[in-house]
């Protein structure tokens, strides 16, 4: 199965210490992926690279960084969300094409990669071409078909669908590309004569790189010895921004500027809106560290209930949400958070969390509070109930894993074991970001997908047809077909698709 990923990117051109800057940029974006890390850089007319499983600090030693020394580099941190997590899939992916050496890092998830992969394999049937199970390798081969990099990129973006922020490296340039919906963030920055791109601005701050602007949806930005040049591969009027609100709710770092807003400021607004929508009488407001911190602060400000640290986090355990297996996730809850008994004993506690995905983590945390003697526990969630899968690169792919897809809010309250439960409304959430509501993706809450998840729909159709055939063999009636294609089909401008 093709791996899906949500990752962190960095690229820089024109700095004598490009590799060190890339290392720092990846280090600052470690929260976007903790399974593998890699850097590719330029040496003469060749690319060299180093990548491996593990954290940035584990993968790169001083000696390795010295061996990569260059004026231009790209880097990537990654986590897999389905299938095995393996060194083979670590990025940047690097190939030596007939025309040039090329490296690529990808943040996002293609929705038609299975179809493209089948087609590429059909064309190359005597020469199996795929070495990894990532959708990024498809991009690489599509680009490499053309003798010119930019022509190759234009060819590739004409075929691929879904979420992609991409950064390419060849011996003479760094190129950044963002999909027409701009699902994932990608920003451009400058330091002296050097120009850089990154998923989040926190990757710039550590190195004194100044934020310049976003790479726009539908744009290709080339950085070479002449500086940066932007060109559109799709006219602005045909691009429909659908920026991932979940980057603000959970994924991005609070000090980053994402889609024009500072994440901490947005989360604080989410907390304030939550307090207005779901007021409660309590003694203290406690965040789930770390991503619930800003929203809890906002909730405390709006409600006038004191902010307290009831949970203490062990920072040496990875983020629960992005561990690859359910067993590991469950075990980590206990290891990761401890309750300060004196803070909660005999108290009415409002817990503010950024999301409830499977419910197992929340349930364990509430149990810890009860065991520590909390008199009442009220859970407030700074986004709406997550009922639908994300096909654009965040790790909740199957509705069977989503508690809100199966249970009512009241049933979730009982399951988790809280005295009251309140989710922020969709309108409330969208009122906290500064862009127009229609410019954000909300598919995991609404089920309305702006780019049809082609592979998922085909898989669904295939499974239904198989079930129908079996039923017909048994003499039963046929099931309704699920196919609901967008008017433009696979190759058109972004459209809406509802599950
Ligand atoms: S479906 Fe949800 S998580 Fe996925 S891109 Fe849209 S808002 Fe983000």
Spell out the per-residue pLDDT of the chain, length 499, in tens. Answer: 333 447 999 999 999 999 999 999 999 999 999 899 999 999 999 999 999 999 999 999 999 999 999 999 999 999 865 445 678 889 999 999 888 999 999 999 999 988 888 888 888 765 557 778 788 889 998 998 899 999 999 999 999 999 999 999 999 999 999 999 999 999 999 999 999 999 999 999 989 999 999 999 999 999 999 999 999 999 999 999 999 999 999 999 999 999 999 999 999 999 999 999 999 999 999 999 888 999 999 999 999 999 999 999 877 765 544 555 555 555 555 677 899 999 999 999 999 999 999 998 899 999 999 999 999 999 999 999 999 999 998 877 578 889 999 999 999 999 999 999 999 999 999 999 999 999 999 999 999 999 988 777 766 666 666 666 666 666 544 333 333 333 333 333 333 444 4
Which ligand 1 atom is at minimum distance from the Cα of 388?
A: 1
Best residue for ligand 1 mutational test, from 444, 447, 456 (most atoms within 8 Å of Cβ)? 444
Q: Is 1 within a domain? A: no
Is residue 244 annotated as a catalytic residue, yes or no? Answer: no
Q: For residues 166 and 203, state if they share a domain.
A: yes
pTM of the model: 0.87
Using the mean position of ligand 1's atoms as its centre, give its distance from the Cα of residue 243 in Å.
8
Q: Is 2 within a domain? A: no
Q: For residues 68 and 175, state if they share a domain.
A: yes
Using the mean position of ligand 1's atoms as its centre, give its distance from the Cα of residue 316 in Å.
28
Q: Is 270 within a domain? A: yes
Domain stop point among 445, 465, 488: 445
Q: For residues 370 and 310, state if they share a domain.
A: yes
- Distance CA(59)–CA(56), nearest Å, equals 5
Residue recorded with tokens 């090329």: 102
Is the four-CA dihedral 248, 357, 455, 91 of positive or negative sign? positive
Ligand 1 pocket, residue 392 CB under 6 Å? yes
Q: For residues 52 and 181, state if they share a domain.
A: yes
Ligand 1 pocket, residue 183 CB under 6 Å? yes
Q: For residues 439 and 322, state if they share a domain.
A: yes
Ligand 1 pocket, residue 440 CB under 6 Å? no
Using the mean position of ligand 1's atoms as its centre, give its distance from the Cα of residue 492 in Å.
21
Q: Is 168 within a domain? A: yes
Minimal-distance CA residue to ligand 1 atom 6: 441
Q: For residues 389 and 297, state if they share a domain.
A: yes
Q: Is 299 within a domain? A: yes
Query: Smallest Cα–Cα separation from 363: which of 346, 348, 377?
Result: 377
Q: Which residues contact 321 (CB under 8 A, 6 or more apart)?
A: 250, 329, 357, 395
Best residue for ligand 1 mutational test, from 386, 394, 396 (most atoms within 8 Å of Cβ)? 394
Using the mean position of ligand 1's atoms as its centre, give its distance from the Cα of residue 194 in Å.
33
Burial class (CB in 10 A: 0-12, 13-18, 19+), 49: buried
Q: For residues 60 and 195, state if they share a domain.
A: yes
Q: Is 403 within a domain? A: yes
Q: For residues 171 and 261, state if they share a domain.
A: no
Using the mean position of ligand 1's atoms as its centre, give its distance from the Cα of residue 392 in Å.
6
Q: For residues 217 and 291, state if they share a domain.
A: no
Domain stop point among 239, 270, 290: 239
Q: For residues 233 and 277, state if they share a domain.
A: no
pLDDT number for residue 475: 58
Instruction: Tell me if 388 sits within 8 A of 445, measured CB to CB.
Output: yes
Ligand 1 pocket, residue 252 CB under 6 Å? no
pLDDT number for residue 398: 76
* Overall number of domains in the chain: 3
Using the mean position of ligand 1's atoms as its centre, give its distance from the Cα of residue 449 in Å.
9
pLDDT number for residue 170: 97
Ligand 1 pocket, residue 246 CB under 6 Å? yes
Ligand 1 pocket, residue 109 CB under 6 Å? no
Q: For residues 80 and 44, state if they share a domain.
A: yes
- Distance CA(401)–CA(356), nearest Å, equals 11
- Distance CA(409)–CA(356), nearest Å, equals 11
Q: For residue 439, what are the domain limits?
A: 257-445
- Distance CA(433)–CA(439), nearest Å, equals 10
Minimal-distance CA residue to ligand 1 atom 8: 244
Ligand 1 pocket, residue 251 CB under 6 Å? no
Q: What is the CATH number of the domain that holds 33?
A: 3.60.20.10
Angle at the Cα of 403 from the Cα atoms of 399 and 407, rounded to 5 degrees: 105
Domain stop point among 239, 267, 289: 239
Q: What is the CATH number of the domain that holds 295?
A: 3.40.50.2020
Q: Which tokens hold the place of 131? A: 């070495």
Using the mean position of ligand 1's atoms as its centre, give its distance from the Cα of residue 245 in Å.
7
Q: Is 65 within a domain? A: yes
Ligand 1 pocket, residue 244 CB under 6 Å? yes
Ligand 1 pocket, residue 412 CB under 6 Å? no
Q: How far is CA 67 from the centre of its chain?
A: 31
The 3-class SS string of the chain reads CCECECCEEEEEECCCCHHHHHHHHHHHCHHHCCCEEEEEEEECCEEEEEEEECCHHHHCCHHHHHHCCCCEEEEEEECECCCCCCHHHCCCEEEECCCCEEEEEEEECECCHHHHHHHHHHHCCCCCCCCCCECHHHHHHHHHCCCCHHHHHHHHHCCCCECCEEEEEECCEEEEEECCCCCCCCEEEEECCEEEEECCCHHHHCCCCEEEEECCCCEEEEEECCEEEEEECCCHHHCCCCEEHHHHHHHCCCCCEECCEEHHHHHHHHHHHHHHHCCCCCCEEEECCCCCHHHHHHHHHHHCCCECCCEEECCCCCCHHHCCCHHHHHHHHHHHEEECHHHHCCCEEEEEECCCCCCHHHHHHHHHHHHCCCCEEEEEECCCCCCCCCCCCCCCCCHHHCHHHHCCHHHHHHHHCCCEEEECCHHHHHCCCCCCHHHEECHHHHCEECCCCHHHHHHHHHHHHHHHHHHHHCCCCCCCCCCCCCCCHHHCCCCCEEC
Q: For residues 167 and 132, state if they share a domain.
A: yes
Q: What's the Rg (C-alpha) of the chain?
A: 23
């Amino acid at each position: 199965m093709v791996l899906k990923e949500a990752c962190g990117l960095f690229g820089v051109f024109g700095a004598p210490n490009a590799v060190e800057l890339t290392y720092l940029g990846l280090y600052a974006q470690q929260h976007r992926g903790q399974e593998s890390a890699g850097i590719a850089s330029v040496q003469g007319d060749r690319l060299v690279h180093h990548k491996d499983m593990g954290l940035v600090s584990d993968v790169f030693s001083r000696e390795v960084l010295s061996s990569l020394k260059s004026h231009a580099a790209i880097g990537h941190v990654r986590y897999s969300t389905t299938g095995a997590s393996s060194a083979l899939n670590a990025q940047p992916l690097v190939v030596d094409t007939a025309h040039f050496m090329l490296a690529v890092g990808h943040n996002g998830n293609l929705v038609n990669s299975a179809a493209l992969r089948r087609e590429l394999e059909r064309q190359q049937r005597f020469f199996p071409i795929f070495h990894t199970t990532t959708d990024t390798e498809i991009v690489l081969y599509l680009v490499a078909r053309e003798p010119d990099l930019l022509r190759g990129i234009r060819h590739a973006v004409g075929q691929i669908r879904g979420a992609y922020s991409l950064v390419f490296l060849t011996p003479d340039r760094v190129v950044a590309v963002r999909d027409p919906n701009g699902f994932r963030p990608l920003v451009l920055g400058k330091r002296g004569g050097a120009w850089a791109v990154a998923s989040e601005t926190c990757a710039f701050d550590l190195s004194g790189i100044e934020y310049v602007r976003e790479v726009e949806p539908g744009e290709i930005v080339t950085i070479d010895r002449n500086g940066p040049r932007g060109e559109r591969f799709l006219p602005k009027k045909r691009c429909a921004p659908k920026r991932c609100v979940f980057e603000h709710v959970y994924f991005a770092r609070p000090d980053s500027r994402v889609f024009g807003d500072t994440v901490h400021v947005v989360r604080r607004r989410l907390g304030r809106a939550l307090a207005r929508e779901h007021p409660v009488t309590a003694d203290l407001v406690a965040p789930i560290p770390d991503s619930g911190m800003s929203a809890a602060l906002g909730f405390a400000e709006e409600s006038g209930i004191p902010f307290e640290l009831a949970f203490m986090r062990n920072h040496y355990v990875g983020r629960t949400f992005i561990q690859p297996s359910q067993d590991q996730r469950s075990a980590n809850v206990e290891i990761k958070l401890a309750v300060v008994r004196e803070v909660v004993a005999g108290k009415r506690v409002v817990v503010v969390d950024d999301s409830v995905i499977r419910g197992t983590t929340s349930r364990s945390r509430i149990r810890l509070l009860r065991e520590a003697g909390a008199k009442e526990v009220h859970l407030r969630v700074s986004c709406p109930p997550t009922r639908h899968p994300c096909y654009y690169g965040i790790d909740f792919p199957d509705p069977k894993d989503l508690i809100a897809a199966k249970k009512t809010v009241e049933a979730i309250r009982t399951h988790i074991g809280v005295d009251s439960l309140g989710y922020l409304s969709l309108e409330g959430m969208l009122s906290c970001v500064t862009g127009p509501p229609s410019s954000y993706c909300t598919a995991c809450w609404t089920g309305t997908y702006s780019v049809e998840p082609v592979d998922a729909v085909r898989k669904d159709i295939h499974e239904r047809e198989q079930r129908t055939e079996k039923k017909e063999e048994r003499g039963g009636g046929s099931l309704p077909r699920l196919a609901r294609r967008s008017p433009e089909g696979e190759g058109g401008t972004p459209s809406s698709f509802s599950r």
